[in-house]
Amino acid sequence: MFRRLSAGVLLSLVPLSAAHAAQEDEQIWLAQFSTINLDKRVLLFAEAQMRLTDGADRPSQFFLRPALGYQVTDAVSVYAGYAWVRVEPLNGAAVTEHRAYQQLSVRLAGGPGKVTVNSRTRLEQRFIVGRPDMGWRLRSLVRVDVPLGKGFGAIVTTEPFANLDTTTWGQRAGFDQIRGFAGIGIPVARGIALEVGYAGQYTKRFAAPDRMNHIGSVSFNIRR
């Protein structure tokens, strides 16, 4: 059900002809997210992620993404961070990317124990090792959490990406990709939860068919 729901949301947002022409892949994404309150206002965020691609047969993408945040109000926080990204394709040379990013997170509706809607808007500056120019990208995630009782919850997200400029290393201004996720939050301990479900990722590509990735997503989340 979750795979059909997420894929349906994604495909409704891209042209039908493009969706039919896209190459497809099955992947597994494993992630760990931590958000630590250093005091009442200052937040430390850390993310580590590994993605298995090409039929979930091999690890080929690795992410480390720390950030420092500030809780402006109970519903609004801002972050500045850095991401290290390593991509090792099946054929071709490995690519290392460095990103600086700024982020605004807002609780749009709801709260503890209620249906909650959150947004996360992130502006990225992307640097590819060995290439001279920088790419700008904007991404905006909306997440809905629905309590199911006893700490369990249903989760649905959508996140479009837009490139703000064109670079020599392959980024093209305009629509880049859209992701969707549908899954379940499972409590493990106080402030710790697993989120398991299906994610779909539709990516616009140039000089190659577009890409539709079907992803089994597992994340371990810590909030202290």
First to last CA, the chain: 32
Q: What is the mean pLDDT of residues 85-95?
A: 93
**Domain spans in the chain, listed from the N-terminal domain onward:** 2-216
Give the per-residue pLDDT at 17.
Answer: 44
Q: Does residue 10 surpass a pLDDT of 80? A: no
Whole-prediction pTM: 0.90
Indicate the pLDDT class of residue 52, thresholds 50, 70 and 90: very high
Rg, Å, the chain Cα set:
18
| CA 9/CA 174 separation, integer angstroms | 20
Q: What is the mean pLDDT of residues 52-56?
A: 95
| CA 182/CA 138 separation, integer angstroms | 22
Q: What is the mean pLDDT of residues 76-100?
A: 96
Q: Does residue 3 surpass a pLDDT of 60? A: no
Question: Which of 42, 103, 41 lies closest to 78 in space, CA to CA?
Answer: 103
**CATH number of 2-216, picked from 2.40.160.40, 2.40.50.140, 3.90.190.20, 1.10.1060.10:** 2.40.160.40
Q: What is the mean pLDDT of residues 52-62?
A: 96
* Residue-averaged pLDDT of the chain: 92
Q: What type of residue sits at position 196? A: V
Q: What type of residue sits at position 124? A: E
| CA 172/CA 35 separation, integer angstroms | 33
Winning range, highest mean pLDDT, from 13-17, 154-158, 206-210: 154-158
For residues 155 and 139, is the Cβ–Cβ distance under 8 A? no
Q: Does residue 6 surpass a pLDDT of 60? A: no
Q: What type of residue sits at position 133? A: D
Indicate the pLDDT class of residue 2, thresholds 50, 70 and 90: very low
The lowest-confidence range among 17-21, 65-69, 93-97, 151-155 is: 17-21
Indicate the pLDDT class of residue 180, thresholds 50, 70 and 90: very high
For residues 136 and 125, is the Cβ–Cβ distance under 8 A? yes
Q: For the chain, give the longest Cα–Cα distance.
A: 52
